[in-house]
Amino acid sequence: MSAGKSYLLLWAVLLLGFCGLWELQHAIDARRAHLHQEQDDLVLRSGPLLKTMSLEYAPLMADLYWTRVVQYYGNKRASHQANIELLWPLLDVTTTLDPNLIIAYRFGSMFLSEPPPSGAGKPELGIELLERGIRANPEYWRFYEDLGFIYYFELNDYRKAAEAFLEGSKKPGAMIWMKAFAARISEKGETLDTSVMLWSEIYSSVSEPSIKENAKIHLQLLRARADCEQLNKLAAEYKKRTGRPPGSVRDLVNVGLLPGLVVDPVGVVYFFDLEGQAQINPASPLFKEQRVDEKRP
């Protein structure tokens, strides 16, 4: 065979090889995209197996998985995606690798319990995670605090909420208000003052930005609710004087029932609906938050 024909044959083989590699890579990329779309992420889900493989490095692996939990939750929340099905498997692996990783139980239970779009909307899994934490760390009183919050806010089970706060109050180092929370909830159930008290404690005791912001929003909504209750009392007095409901907060100011316009916690004036009931203004950022909150169980 001549040298020229040999070169042509070589180039033909190389060209076919490159084409084959391109097709193979294309198929691999398509398959990878398909898997990503179906599963959203790939994760080893067997905590016991990972712990056996990790040996003395299990706590380090737990830290890595916890970092992955925070990234996963943060990305989902930022993109407003409701599908966070991998949150529980990731937390399961994390706490199996390191049963003493307190932060994973505390924040993980909140991520699981909060309703969408803030969380997974699965308070039963949040409770399961905290009970696992209690079994591994029986003297850590904050777990009972978190358990009480879930029962109170997410499940409206005031008896179990009071029981959780009371049990936690017996643990070493527990704050005195744990017993006070138990007594108040047992006596009054859900009240505006109790909710403010609990959300204030969440806001002051956590450092995770998304949870802190969530607590802040709930405190703002609770203040707006209290403001509207007071405005409705003034509206009733206005109707007595004029024979009609107020059309705006300005009407109350004009008859001397208010010294000035009343604004919500973000600075937007309240308004009255057609029946004369005070409401958060639809122009306020809190209006959307109120709609989300109303969908809670």
In order, the DSSP letters of 178-235 are HHHHHHHHHHH-S-HHHHHHHHHHHHHH---HHHHHHHHHHHHHHHHHHHHHHHHHHH
Q: Which helix (H) or strand (E) holds 278?
A: strand 278-279
Cα separation values, 94 from 25, 46, 87, 89, 105, Å: 34, 10, 11, 9, 9
Q: What pLDDT sits at residue 36? A: 46
Rounded-to-5 percentages of helix, strand, coil across the chain: 70, 0, 30
What residues does 271 pair with on adjacent strands? 248, 279
Q: What is the tens place of the pLDDT at every residue in 137-162? A: 999 999 999 999 999 999 999 999 99
Where are the chain's structural domains? 47-212, 228-294
Distance CA 59, CA 94 (A): 9
Please tell me which residue, 41 or 277, carries the higher pLDDT value.
Answer: 277
The predicted structure's pLDDT at residue 193: 85
Structure tokens at 93: 């692996």
What is the rounded CA–CA span in Å between residue 211 and residue 141? 19
Tokens representing 285? 């950022």
Instruction: Give the model's pLDDT for residue 28.
Output: 47
Position 280 pLDDT exceeds 80: yes
The Cα 207–Cα 258 span in angstroms is 38
Rounded Cα gap, residues 273 and 277, in angstroms: 5
Fold of 47-212: 1.25.40
- The pLDDT assigned to 70 comes to 85
166 HSE (CA, 13 A, CB side)? 11
Does residue 230 register a pLDDT over 90? Answer: yes
CA distances from 221 to 66, 100, 132, 194, 273 (A): 31, 35, 33, 14, 18
Query: Residue written as tokens 């080893």?
Result: 44
Average pLDDT over residues 126-135: 97
Element (H, E) at 162: helix 158-169
Q: pLDDT tens across 14-72, in order?
A: 455 445 544 544 554 554 444 444 344 444 555 555 555 555 667 788 888 788 888 87
